Amino acid sequence: MVPTSYYLILSAVLFGLGVLAFVFKRNIITVFMAIELMLNAVNLAFVAFSQALGKSDGEIFVLFVIVVAAAEAAVGLGIIILTARNRRSLNVERVDLLKL
Partner 1 sequence: MSFALLMFFVLAGLAVLGALALILQRHPIHSALSLILVMLSLAGLYLLMGAEFVAAVQIIVYGGAVMVLFVFVIMLLNAGEEERTNFSKLASVAGIPLALALAGVIAAAIARGSGHLPSATNGELTSTRELSKLLFSEFVYPFELTSFLILVAILGAIVLAQREQN
Q: Phi and psi at residue 27, in whole multiples of 5°? A: -95, 130
Task: Decide: is 24 part of the binding site for partner 1 (CB under 8 A).
Answer: yes
- The answer to the question of residue 95 lying near partner 1 (CB under 8 A) is no
CB 39 within 8 A of CB 11: no
Binding string to partner 1 for residues 46 to 75, with x set by CB under 8 A, is what?
-xxxxxxxx-xx-xx-xxx-xxxxxxxxxx
Q: Does 29 bind partner 1 (CB under 8 A)?
A: yes
Decide: is 96 part of the binding site for partner 1 (CB under 8 A).
no
What would the DSSP string read from start to end of 2-63?
A: --HHHHHHHHHHHHHHHHHHHHH--BHHHHHHHHHHHHHHHHHHHHHHHHHH--SHHHHHHH
* Least distance from partner 1 to the Cβ atom of residue 62, Å: 5
CB 40 within 8 A of CB 10: no
18 is a site residue for partner 1 (CB under 8 A): yes
The binding site for partner 1 (CB under 8 A) comprises: 1-10, 12-14, 16-18, 20-21, 24-27, 29-30, 32-34, 36-37, 40, 43-44, 47-54, 56-57, 59-60, 62-64, 66-75, 77-82, 84, 90
